[in-house]
Amino acid sequence: MNIIHKAITHQEHKHTIAQNELVVRDLGVLLDSELTMKQHISKVTSICYYHLRRLRQIRNYVSREIVIQLVMSLVISGMNYCNSVLVGLPASTLAPLQRVQNAAARLILGLSRRSHITPALQQLHWLPIKLSKSQH
């Protein structure tokens, strides 16, 4: 278990208040002192977007089946790892994960950013993040 300390500075009425925020990493999950999971979600989405950018570069050189396998193994599995700790979080906190899932679906199906995503998720048989995290 790794403990990560972050110094946070708040300004209130021309006074500076310094707080230490305690973040613990256990089994790859970042847990902050208030269990908001925002840092964990931020880290997961960052890694997923990295993989999606790299996969976008090679998608024209491999078959659709290979793209699906790579997205599932590199992106979706990363989003789903230890996802039971995300149950009950507000939709606003889970929104970045939904955007990653949408980007993954668009990559697999070759859709533009403006394409409606619900039919794409249905075609792939993927539940929206808010539903998949509420049914654990």
**Could you read off the pLDDT of 85-103 as tens digits, one per residue?**
999 999 999 999 999 999 9
Please give the pLDDT value at position 130. Answer: 79
Please give the pLDDT value at position 2. Answer: 59
Please give the pLDDT value at position 17. Answer: 47
Please give the pLDDT value at position 132. Answer: 64
* pLDDT averaged over every residue in the chain: 86
C-beta of residue 18 within 8 angstroms of C-beta of residue 8 = yes
Q: What is the pLDDT of residues 71-87, one digit of tens each?
A: 999 999 999 998 889 99
Q: How many domains does the chain have?
A: 2
Query: From CA 48, how far away is CA 124, in angstroms rounded?
Result: 18
Same domain? 42 vs 30: no
Lowest pLDDT segment from 7-21, 34-48, 60-74: 7-21
Question: Residue type for 76, please?
Answer: I
Task: List, in sequence order, every residue forming a beta bridge with 21; answer none if it has no partner.
Answer: 6
Same domain? 11 vs 41: no
Same domain? 3 vs 44: no
